[in-house]
Amino acid sequence: MSPDKRKTKRQRGSSLTAQPPPRAANRIFYAVAEGAVTEYDYLTMLQNAFSEQCSFRIDMPRSRPDDMKPWRVAERVLAVAEEDARRPEGEQYAEIWALFDRDRHRDVAEALDALDGHSKVRVAFSNPSFDFWLYLHYALHDVPQDGWNHQIHQLLAQSPGFLGFGAKDKRITKARADNLLPRIKMTCDHARSLDKRCRSGKCAHRRGTKPDCGPLDQDPSTGMWRLLESLGIA
């Protein structure tokens, strides 16, 4: 392959490069995600596009093992929160976020319980997965997935900009970011409306006899809009 071709290939298929965040951001966030690539690429996209305007910075772990289980994400977040509490108030994080998925994980409830009640810790939980949040950029989809991700994956892989998205191609490239960014406000509306359906008892999934849907019942759903709201984006 010629050097030129190699360069083009690299540009087409590589994750976004983080641009320098604003020097004096009003609020500094920390986020730990379950996946090693897609979520962090997405956060980099948000930072590149909105950090100046909304005055935030998102710190992320340097070491990003693939396929962290929810309890590993929770552990990481709690360790960061503990360290953060020892710093002087002016140097502390505004919020510390855990991003994880329902998928077929068994320890989600445990992870949610462990994170509950910490004042700065917040959770963006997606059911069945973060890819559902990505798919909401293209359509409001309210069909229960029972913890499986393959249908959402298929739908996403047919969406503009995400052709070929899958196990070996989980990056958010410049082209994908350009496709996602103009849709962000609508995506938050989609995710909020699913939440609202649950609160008003009009959700599509089984409700059983419980009066309210807990986060594990909400299928499909994603709490990513809460993070974007907190960042001041939408």
Least separation in angstroms between CB 132 and Zn ion: 15
Question: With binding defined as CB under 5 A, does residue 203 bind Zn ion?
Answer: yes
Minimum distance from residue 212 beta carbon to Zn ion (Å):
8
Separation CA 24–CA 214 (nearest Å): 38
Minimum Å gap between C-beta 201 and Zn ion is 8
Query: Taking CB under 5 A as the criterion, which residues in 73-102 touch Zn ion?
Result: none
* DSSP states along 61-127: -S---TT--HHHHHHHHHHHHHHHHTS-GGGS-SEEEEEEE-TT-S-HHHHHHHHTT-TTEEEEEEE
Piece of the chain touching Zn ion by CB under 5 A; list 73-81, 84-92, 151-159, 213-221? 213-221
The residue whose two tokens read 């002016």 is 90
Q: Which residue, 142 or 169, has its beta carbon nearer to Zn ion?
A: 142
Per rule CB under 5 A, is residue 191 in the interface with Zn ion?
no
Q: Tell the smallest beta-carbon distance from residue 118 to Zn ion (Å).
A: 25
* Contact (Cβ atoms closer than 8 angstroms) between residue 40 and residue 64: yes
Pattern 150-189, binding to Zn ion, x per CB under 5 A?
A: ----------------------------------------
Task: Give the nearest distance from C-beta 198 to Zn ion in angstroms.
Answer: 3
Told to check if 194 binds Zn ion by CB under 5 A, we report: no
Q: Which residue has the tokens 């909105």?
A: 50
Does 198 help bind Zn ion (rule: CB under 5 A)? yes
Write out the two tokens for 210: 């419980």
Instruction: Pick the piece of the chain touching Zn ion (CB under 5 A) from 74-82, 109-117, 149-157, 198-206.
Output: 198-206
Specify the residue for token string 């020892």. 86
Question: Which one of residues 33, 115, 213, 227 is an interface residue with Zn ion (CB under 5 A)?
Answer: 213
Minimal distance in Å, beta carbon 217 to Zn ion?
6
DSSP 133-189: HHHTTT-------TT--HHHHHHHHTSTT-TT-BTTB----HHHHHHHGGGHHHHHH
Using CB under 5 A, list all residues that contact Zn ion: 198, 203, 213
